[in-house]
């Protein structure tokens, strides 16, 4: 019997979930470009999805989905793959093999596999080598078999055991060759130096037509086009980069409630030196709770000689924000 060729499914937007969307970065500029592309050329590439009890869970194509919602489309074409649980997170890596994930996105995926799915060394390695198959043999997986590529583990050393940190090196191991070098334990540990920890409080919010507190309290839904807020904050930092922190988050609340961060701030050290901080990232609210999980991609810049080392460092900064109290707690780690 001849094998059945790939079948594209057209799925209504309300049936597509974004439960894995917090594992991907997306700037406002990139999202706007995707909206322009869809409006001009239509959908070129199908989303990659997996089945869930009700509808489909998106694995790859979050920007396309959000752009379609912004354009008020009714449906999108998808490819379905037969994966569940932890395999869905691994499929994100497979589906982005050509475009490549950022170091932060790779770290988020492995961190989620470790913390949410409880996977340790041998299971992570097995998943990294697995090739998810099609749903009912209908739709082929876009991925290619083989080990996954990656670039180290920037999350806190305290969050993983020595053995599980070691497993990251084996799971995200790049092929050997002139452009690649095998990860080892010393490299992985060196990438996780904690540079700072700060607590800041909101000092003012500038709104543009709708109040942030009304959205957060559920009194009004986020507008279909989203809503922009300028959130000023101040606080103190401890650690290697100690001092005061002051800045503004040019926050964008999407129609689905997710927060897009665009932060510009300054750190003033005890000896009076100033370090510019810029960060992008996401905030993922917890249903029924004022606490949202934050994930930031941070860059620092200064011309002060004593702190010139910050100019070459990329920082991964997880944390939380208590939206009811206006308090943010962040830890910054060298990636």
**Domain holding 221: CATH number?**
2.40.160.20
SS3 for 30? helix
Q: Which of 79-93, 124-138, 152-166, 218-232 has the lowest mean pLDDT?
A: 152-166
In a domain, 307, yes or no: yes
255/125 same-domain check? no
Query: For residue 264, what are the domain limits?
Result: 194-334
272/310 same-domain check? yes
170/280 same-domain check? no
**What confidence tier does 20 reach under pLDDT thresholds 50, 70, 90?**
confident
Q: What's the CATH code of the domain at 144?
A: 3.90.1530.10
37/184 same-domain check? yes
48/164 same-domain check? yes
Percent of the chain with pLDDT over 90: 29
**What confidence tier does 248 reach under pLDDT thresholds 50, 70, 90?**
very high
Residue 287 DSSP one-character state:
T
179/203 same-domain check? no
* Higher-scoring residue by pLDDT: 3, 62: 62
C-alpha R_g of the chain: 21
Residue 264, pLDDT score? 97
219/91 same-domain check? no
Q: Which among 147, 164, 190 is the end of a domain? A: 190
In a domain, 145, yes or no: yes
In a domain, 228, yes or no: yes
221/274 same-domain check? yes
In a domain, 270, yes or no: yes
- Which tens digit of pLDDT belongs to each residue from 147-171? 333 333 333 333 344 444 444 444 4
Helices then strands, each counted (H, E), the chain: 8, 14
In a domain, 4, yes or no: no
323/178 same-domain check? no
CA dihedral of 236, 237, 242, 246, whole degrees rounded to 10: -60
178/226 same-domain check? no
SS3 for 85? coil
Provide the strand spans (E) within the chain. 9-12, 16-17, 47-51, 56-60, 75-82, 133-134, 194-207, 227-238, 243-253, 259-268, 274-285, 291-301, 314-322, 327-334
User: Please, which residues have CB within 8 angstroms of residue 117's CB and are 6 or more apart in sequence?
Assistant: 85, 86, 89
> Does the pLDDT at position 209 exceed 90?
yes
* Higher-scoring residue by pLDDT: 188, 105: 105
* Higher-scoring residue by pLDDT: 154, 296: 296
Q: Which among 190, 211, 246 is the end of a domain? A: 190
* Residue that the structure tokens 């060729």 belong to: 5
58/161 same-domain check? yes
In a domain, 2, yes or no: no
Q: Which of 33-47, 112-126, 169-183, 216-230 has the lowest mean pLDDT?
A: 169-183
328-335 average pLDDT score: 87
142/41 same-domain check? yes
Q: Which among 190, 211, 230 is the end of a domain? A: 190
In a domain, 1, yes or no: no
Domain count, the chain: 2
Are 11 and 58 in contact by the 8 Å Cβ rule? The answer is: no
Q: What is the pTM of this model?
A: 0.47
In a domain, 224, yes or no: yes
Residue 207, pLDDT score? 95
């Amino acid at each position: 019997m001849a094998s059945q060729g790939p079948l594209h499914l057209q799925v209504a937007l309300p049936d597509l979930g974004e439960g894995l969307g917090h594992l991907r970065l997306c700037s406002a500029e990139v999202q706007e470009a995707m909206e322009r592309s869809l409006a001009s050329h239509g959908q070129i590439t199908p989303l990659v999805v997996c089945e869930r009890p009700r509808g489909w869970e998106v694995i790859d194509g979050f920007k396309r989905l959000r752009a379609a919602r912004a354009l008020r489309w009714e449906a999108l074409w998808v490819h379905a793959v037969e994966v569940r649980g932890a395999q869905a997170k691994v499929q994100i890596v497979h589906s982005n093999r050509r475009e490549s994930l950022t170091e932060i996105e790779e770290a988020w995926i492995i961190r989620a596999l470790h913390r949410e799915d409880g996977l340790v060394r041998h299971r992570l390695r097995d998943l990294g080598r697995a090739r998810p198959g099609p749903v009912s043999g209908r739709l082929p997986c876009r991925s290619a078999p083989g080990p996954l590529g990656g670039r180290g583990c920037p999350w806190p050393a305290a969050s993983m055991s020595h053995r599980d940190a070691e497993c990251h090196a084996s799971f995200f191991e790049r092929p050997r060759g002139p452009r690649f070098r095998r990860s080892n334990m010393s490299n992985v540990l060196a990438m996780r130096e904690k540079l700072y920890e700060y607590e800041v409080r909101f000092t003012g919010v500038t709104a543009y037509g709708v109040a942030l507190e009304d959205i957060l309290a559920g009194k009004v839904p986020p507008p279909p086009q989203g809503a922009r807020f300028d959130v000023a904050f101040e606080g103190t930092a401890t650690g290697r980069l100690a001092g005061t922190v002051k800045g503004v988050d040019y926050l964008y609340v999407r129609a689905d409630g997710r927060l897009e961060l665009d932060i510009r701030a300054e750190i003033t050290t005890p000896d009076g030196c100033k370090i510019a901080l810029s960060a992008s990232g996401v905030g993922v609210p917890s249903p029924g709770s004022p606490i949202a999980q934050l994930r930031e991609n941070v860059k620092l810049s200064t011309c002060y000689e004593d702190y010139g080392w910050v100019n070459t460092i990329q920082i991964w900064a997880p944390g939380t924000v208590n939206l009811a109290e206006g308090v943010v707690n962040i830890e910054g780690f060298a990636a």
